[in-house]
Amino acid sequence: KQINQINQNQNQQQQSPGDPHSGAAYRCISSVLKKDGQILSIAASNGLVYTGSDINVIRVWKIPEFSECGQLKTKACMVVALEVSHDRVYAAYGDAKIRVWQRTWDDGLKHVRLATIPRAGNYVRSYISGKDKMMKHMGPITSLAINVSDDILYSASLDKTVKVWRISDLKCIETIQAHPEPINAIIVADDGVLFTASDDATVKVWRRNFCRGDQPHSLTVTLPAKYSPVKALTLTPDGGILYGGCTDGYIHYWLKGWYSGQLQYGGALQGHTHAVMCLASVANYVVSGSADSTSRVWAREPEGQHTCLSVLVGHRGPVRCVTAFAGRFGEEGDHHDGCTVCTGSLDGVLKVWRVTCVNNINRCSTPSGCEYFEL
């Protein structure tokens, strides 16, 4: 029998544990347990939240009520990464393939399966080397990212490569040999700059040059992450700050100069006791999920300091994926009032949290340096 537990509108607010002067109070407003195994991925778009897990079902949730309103099914299992853009849903599975759906709103919400990439038998033969170069990743996919302006989908893999897919025809147009170790996360800025994070303890920055033929992406700079593998990335909405979550529990961040374009190391956020597995950014908030089974909500202040507002406690397993919204679901309000956070865990539970700012914010220490990196 399928287990389905939903607890909504819990009235009890909690202060962040271990800090009586925490800058926010939080409460879990919804907790959902399905018989799906571990929750591995999450994405939000147009009032909907998509979640992927160990099984072959992507569940669709309507917000703010957080009721299930659809399912996307395939024969493949393990939905390891999700991205949604322009009413298209892209899902990476454990078989190293990507499935694509078209979302329609005619006569209610529907999802129509478009394609699986790469298509069967889709490969390019290199007559120069005499070798077949498969378009499929040779290892599990770990992350997806979309460059809307250039009509590009990126996929990163444990095979140490990033593949570049043209969205219009879903063909692989480039393979980037990005790192000497497995790649864990990728993200694209609004200006098209690609960031890749790896077990080699670096974040690499790539730019696309249309004049470079078959290999248009070139490495711009390599950002060291203090000798710890980087597992997660996020950017602020304006693209001004890059955050990287590491296995040592630190979240390193780099600041982009508005005029120079340089990336300056800004410091590290300390608090998690185990690896940071996921990151999200909304308004002036950064949310981190960790193998220590907690999530942390950080506020970025105008002068550049970061404040740990809340430690969200409730999961019984590592927090694998997270997404966040400013204010409340479906309501326009002052983002200074707090944010709403969705967390998915390896314990199989999907939780929704409401974090509300209060007075007496306690500032966290964020050690900084003076390292500059030219973009």
Nearest to 339 by CA among 23, 11, 6, 12: 23
- For the chain, the structural domain boundaries read 8-35+141-374
What is the rounded CA–CA span in Å between residue 91 and residue 84? 9
Over range 53-72, report the average pLDDT: 93
Say which range, 31-35, 95-99, 334-338, 346-350, has the weakest mean pLDDT: 334-338
Q: How confident is the model at residue 327 (pLDDT cuts 50, 70, 90)?
A: confident
Q: What is the pLDDT of residues 75-127, one digit of tens each?
A: 999 999 999 999 999 999 999 999 999 999 888 899 999 999 987 655 554 43
Fold for 8-35+141-374, please state it.
Methylamine Dehydrogenase; Chain H (2.130.10)
CA angle 144, 149, 150 (to 5 degrees): 70
What is the rounded CA–CA span in Å between residue 23 and residue 230? 28
What is the rounded CA–CA span in Å between residue 6 and residue 12? 16
Q: What is the pLDDT of residues 208-261, one digit of tens each?
A: 987 766 778 999 999 999 889 999 999 999 999 999 999 999 999 999 987 667
Residue 139 pLDDT exceeds 70: yes
